[in-house]
Structure 1
Amino acid sequence: MDLRAAQYAALTGLTVAEAQSSVATTNVANAGVTGYTAKTTSLTTTVTGSSATGVSLSSITSYVNENLVRSLVAATSDQTYTQTVADYLEALSSALGTTDSETTIADRLTALQTAIADLAVTPESDSLKYLVVEAAVDVADSLNALSAEVQQQRADADQQIEDTVGELNTALAEIDELNEQITMAKALGQDTGDLEDARRVALQTVAEKLDVNYFTTSSGELHVYTQSGEPLVDSQAHTLAYEAAGNVSATMEYPSGFDEITLDGQAVTTKLSGGEIGALLELRDETLPAIQDELDALAATLVEEVNAVTNQGTAVPAAGTLTGTTSRASADSLSGTGTMRIALVDSDGVVDTVVDLDLSTYSTVGDLVSAIDAIDGVSASLDAEGRLVVSSDDSSLGVAINEMDSAAGTAGTGISSYFGLNSLFTGTSADTIRVRSDLAADSTLLATGTLSSDSTLAAGDTGIASGDGSIAEALEDLFGQSVDFAAAGSLGDTSATLADYASSIVSDVATKASTATSEAETADLVAENLSTSLSNESGVNLDEETARLAALENQYAACSQMFEIISEMFETLLDAVS
């Protein structure tokens, strides 16, 4: 080898060592950067004629196990899906309370049962009536609050869908931009390792939002699709759009109550699954509505069962005015049978006036209202909301009603039930249940006794016995016995006490939350293991890079020394010939 060839070999060695050191230094500097893969250099021997004359850097590459990447992408979707479900259910379970916390809806029903039991012993106590009404208000407020919590979570999920769609669009646009840069760099023979790392990170972001399929074309473009085959990125990024509903109520459901998620203007809501968006859709449209159904079943059954008892009773002393809670129209067909009794009684329950009405003689609601209004000393009418109002014309007398064997309407309920007279609760769901407004304001209006059904009852007789607590006792019995519940949410047909059914709702949500948390922890572990495996194969090993830098420094020093020696030899030769 002549001196020039040796000098060239030393020079190329210096250049390559410098380039390799730069790559190793970059690896060390980016060791903690998410998605960064370790870069390695490939060298080519320079040949002149038939002799090796030096070395050159042919490429900078990185090794990535695509099978691991694909597994990690799938695991990432599962990880965010399970974690999103767990977060929402844990929050709802916390709002419902635990079965041993004494703050659940079941505990409030038990408190109501206890207050009623105390009243049954001393039904004439106004303070105990107050405690019963306050406990009933507490139950209704609790159901209202839980319903509001469920709907707020649905609203939060709905808003999060809008936010996540925006984040997804940003990641898709980033993949599209990186596709352009990568294909151009490949065409120019330039290194694309860092660009591919960035694109891989963007793909992970997409997978967090949605379960996807993808492949890389021969030109280096990454094409991404939904699991059902809709393109998200191909030759361009496709745009999703969604606008949250804002306020969400228990009656809102997909598709009538919420907008569609669109992809390039086409509805794709039902075609999206997995990831954060899939979890949010499932929570908003299935999981949370099912829990709302359970709360509604409890509220509706509570209203129906309790009112069925109180509708048979009367306040003691009787109220001067009774106002129904159910709206009726004067022209409504009554379809009535049997007999009802109306009486005016004084504060001691002594009858002033008593009239029995045969419902079969009245065709419409208006006919019956007119007949009641025709009773001496009684006024009756339908108010602006269609509610029956029955009043005593004498302020010293109260109005008492006994349903007797009456039946009205298509459901064939007693006449007090038909009009909602002496109801404790109003509403039909967890969202709408309330304690009757006038009762909430005046607890002495609570029905605790019963107007006598004696066929010989007449003026001067005792119509309501002093200390009559028959309705309070019936309510106490109701809360201690099982009632039938139709299937709702995740709960099947069952027979249980009101408090026990409430406990089953709390337990159902707690079980769902616990299961979701366990699944999230498992998915987390799978994703972490895959990420660690990928990092071990493709990430930066600081020990190896440090050792490589040390070896390259020695290589650089050797080439530098060789170059220096050859330069000195050139100088010696020049001196010899000059």
Structure 2
Amino acid sequence: MSLLNVGARALMANQVALQTAGHNIANVNTPGYSRQTVSLQTVQGLFTGGGYIGQGVDVQTIVRNHSELLTRQAATAGSVQAGDAARAARLRQLQEVFSGGPTGLGASINDMMNAFADVVGSPTDITARTVALTRMDETATRMRDSAERIGEIQYNLRQELETSITAINSLATRIADINDQIARVKGNGQSPNDLLDQRDQLIREMNQYVQVTQIPADDGTVGLFVAGSQPLVLGSTATQLSIGDAEAFPGSGQLKLFFNRPGVTPSEIDENMLGGGSVSGLLRFHNQDLAEGRNLLGRLALGIGMTMNAQHRMGLTLDGQAGTNLFALPASMPGYTGGAAVGNVNFANPTQFVASDYEVRFGTSPAGQVIRLSDGKATAFTDLTNLASLNIDGLTFNLTTAGASGERVLFKPFSTAANNIQALVAAPRDLAVANPINAAMGTTNAGTLQLANLKATSTGYVAPPIPGGVTLTFTAGPPATYGVTGSTTPPSGTTGLAYTAGTPIVIDGWEITLQGTPRTGDTVRVGNALDPQYGDAYKRNAGNASALQALRDVKMFDESSLSDGFAGAIAQIGTRTQSALFSAKLSDTIAANLERDRTAVSGVNLDEEAAKLLQYQQAYQASAKMLQIAQSIFDTLIQGLGR
């Protein structure tokens, strides 16, 4: 009987080994499956006077080939890789908005500025004026199209985030259910290998969306925490996540992840604490990269539009009317806060704009600081009056109601500035290309004075009165000087002002540039272009068109010229994109290496399993032969006793 028992145990053990090898082969392509092996142990021998007689073999357990360290490292690395890949993919979409080439916004801006060259050459040519207006309309249209494309990216991003949150909540529920199953079967003393594999695979999938920290419990369950401390799964209980506007800035469009514990007000999660996962990468892209793209485009629209509007208002149309705005632009942008503060931000100087959002943070109200979020630069203020008097990066912050101590107000001055920009001037005759002032050299001048440039420089310029105008009278010197009469600033009658050839002379909001050397008594008279003494000469004047064309070289966008502003935006978005792509490539390499190390421990090798099948098959056949021999011996014994 002992031989029969030994054979039966061996047959059963080898059958389990064959079944386990078959189970491995069947799950070779199952995601998250860990290779299993049979752990055999010798049955304690039977003591006799002649020593211990072996009793065969038993199956001790089914071992799960698994490294907890490698599994967690691979999950974490995969989470970081998912976040980097998600951000890099969206940045490539944003980079397409800021593309160059003949169909890009930059080419349209250059075409618009260059179109004034033909107007300068022939100010009365209606065709040249029409082309210039068409170029302006094309530029405004491309700005709106770019803003719309950014809006589409933002909309699709929001939808993807909503889908990801739904997937996270579903995974959390499934992990909690498996936790419950594992806790129920853990009491039998054996490891539920397949359930553990399923849970680890679900956790890996969870890490693709949001990085989680795992804390094992004594009952076999695993607690999952997001952002370091928020319990997403505890035992058999799962908590839901959601996405929504930032609590401090409702309506601003700034997105945050919320933790929704039952019976408790949803708590906002700091995205900087999320670590990896596609949700973290998408939130970072939305709140930082996409915001910068909007700011760069909005700053470009406002800077070009405001500058050209101001210059155009200083010119005269073919009908002798003052120029109007060329582009429709927002005059101010509101602030966002969940508190008591009320106010907006106005645009003062487009040459100082910085593509950034701003926060007004109240300390001991009404005092506080204005923080430029792009680099953290702070500007202090003592009260709302002091705040309104500050010119911060070409912006003025006007709050009618102060916030409470500790309150924050978010301002996004450029985020939507390009959304509705439009060209306003449609009639070619309404293009104000003429100077509002005219100049004439004295008829008795004996020197070599020549007019180099004449233009209005401020919307507050004072047109010389009719009919006298402003007269500059020169003294040869050396040094050469001049006096001025008929002016307001400097006061009429001022003499002894230094003259330098080629240096602009600024008077009453306009400037005149002269070349050459004067003789004593030489004069230059500047008068209102609409003065009857000049007749319709203003119609053939293109001084303001020249000033509009010259705007392309004005330093405006981070020390870049107006015409190079879009190239600067391309460079900034391109730098972000390349950095993100490099990070994604690096994290992908790390994740692949760690996954390979994990698979080396847990993965199924078909060649190895095939060899085991042959090994266990032979052992099984030998065990069956052992039973056959035991049966034959037993039959012989029975027959012998029967005689």
Which residue of structure 2 aligns with residue 548 of structure 1? 612
TM alignment of 1:163-242, pairs within 5 A: 163-242=163-242
Gaps of 5+ in 1: 329-409, 412-426, 486-493
Residue 370 of structure 2 is matched in structure 1 by none
CA distance in 1, matches of 2:139, 2:131: 12
CA contact (8 A) 2:95 2:574 kept: yes
The alpha carbon displacement at 1:114 in A equals: 2.0
Aligned residue among 547, 553, 556 for 1:484: 556
Cα distance, 1:320–1:89 mapped onto 2, change above 3 Å: closer
Quick check: 1:445 aligned with 2:430?
Answer: yes
Question: What is the aligned partner in structure 2 of residue 81 from structure 1?
Answer: 83
C-alpha distance in 1 between matches for 2:573 and 2:550: 29
Q: Which of 38, 41, 64 is matched with 1:41 structurally?
A: 38
Matched, 1:500 2:564: yes
1:69 deviates by 1.5
TM superposition shift of 1:569: 2.8
Residue number in structure 2 paired with 1:113:
113
Shift of 1:132: 1.2
| Residue 543 (structure 2) aligns with | 470
User: Contact conserved, 2:212 with 2:226, CA < 8 A, in 1?
Assistant: yes
Per the alignment, do residues 103 and 545 of structure 1 end up closer, same or farther by CA in structure 2, a change over 3 Å counting? same
Change (3 A) 1:539 1:11: same
- CA displacement at 1:286 relative to structure 2: 2.1
CA 251–298 in structure 1, closer or farther in 2 if over 3 Å, else same: farther
Aligned residue identity for 1:67: L
TM-score of the two chains, using structure 1 as the length reference: 0.74
RMSD of Structure 2 on Structure 1 (CA): 2.9
1:110–1:533 Cα change, 3 Å = same
**Structure 1 residues 191-224: Cα deviation after superposition (integer angstroms, max 9, x where no partner):** 4111111110111122112222112122211111
Is 1:105–1:503's contact at 8 Å kept on the other side of the alignment? no
Paired residue secondary structure (1:97):
coil
Contact 1:179/1:221 (8 A) holds in 2: yes
C-alpha contact (below 8 Å) 1:123/1:469 kept by paired residues: yes
Aligned pairs for 1:370-449 (under 5 A) are 429-436=417-424, 439-440=425-426, 442-449=427-434
Q: Which residue is equivalent to 1:341?
A: none
Contact 2:91 2:289 in 1 (8 A): no
SS at match of 1:64: coil
Q: Which amino acid aligns with 1:105?
A: L
| Alignment size in residue pairs | 459
The one of 308, 311, 314 aligned to 1:309: 311
Between the aligned partners of 1:229 and 1:283, the Cα distance in structure 2 is: 24
**Partner in structure 2 of residue 137 of structure 1:** 137
- What's the CA shift for 1:227? 3.1
Shift of residue 288 of structure 1?
1.3
CA gap 1:135/1:428 in 2 versus in 1, 3 angstroms: farther
1:322 Cα deviation from its structure 2 partner: 7.2
When you count strand as a share of all residues, which structure comes out higher?
Answer: 2
Looking at structure 2, the residues matched to 143 and 201 of structure 1 have their Cα atoms a distance apart, in angstroms, of 46
Task: For residue 551 of structure 1, report the CA deviation from its aligned partner.
Answer: 0.5
* Higher RCO (C-alpha 8 Å, min separation 6): 1
- Cα distance in 2, alignment partners of residues 94 and 293 from structure 1: 16
Q: Which amino acid aligns with 1:429?
A: A
Aligned residue number for residue 509 of structure 1 = 573
- Residues 43 and 465 (structure 1), Cα distance of their counterparts in 2 relative to 1, 3 Å cut: same
1:538 and 2:535 equivalent? no
Could you tell me how far 1:321 is from its partner in structure 2?
Answer: 11
Query: Is contact 1:108-1:135 (8 Å) kept?
Result: yes
**Range 141-150 or range 28-37, more displaced:** 141-150
Amino acid at match of 2:625: Q
Structure 1 residues 58 and 251: alpha-carbon distance in aligned structure 2, compared to 1, 3 A threshold: closer
Corresponding position: 1:270 with 2:283: no
**Cα displacement (A) at 1:244:** 5.6
Tell whether the 8 Å contact from 2:222 to 2:235 is kept in structure 1 after alignment: no
CA distance change for structure 1 residues 189 and 320 in 2, over 3 Å: closer, same or farther?
closer
Residues 314, 450 of structure 1: 8 Å contact kept: yes
Unpaired segments of 5 or more residues in structure 2? 48-52, 332-388, 391-414, 438-462, 468-529
Equivalent residue, structure 2, for 1:25: 22
| Secondary structure of 2:32 counterpart | coil
User: Which residue pairs with 2:506 in the alignment?
Assistant: none
Q: Indicate the residue corresponding to 2:632 in structure 1.
A: 568
Is this contact kept in 1: 2:40–2:60, CA < 8 A? yes
Matches of 1:482 and 1:495, distance apart in 2: 9
Give the equivalent residue in structure 1 for 2:146.
146
Residue 506 (structure 1) shift:
0.9
CA contact (8 A) 2:230 2:259 kept: no
Match of 2:288 among 274, 286, 289: 286
Instruction: With the length of structure 2 as denominator, give the TM-score of the two structures.
Output: 0.67
SS of equivalent residue, structure 2 residue 538: coil
Instruction: Please identify which structure carries the higher helix content.
Output: 1
Q: CA deviation at 1:159?
A: 2.6
Seen in structure 2, the aligned counterparts of structure 1 residues 14 and 500 have a Cα distance that, compared at 3 Å, is same
**Which amino acid is the alignment partner of residue 575 of structure 2?**
T
Q: Deviations over 1:144-178 (max 9, x none)?
A: 22222223323332332222111111111111111
State the secondary structure of the residue aligned to 1:315.
Answer: coil
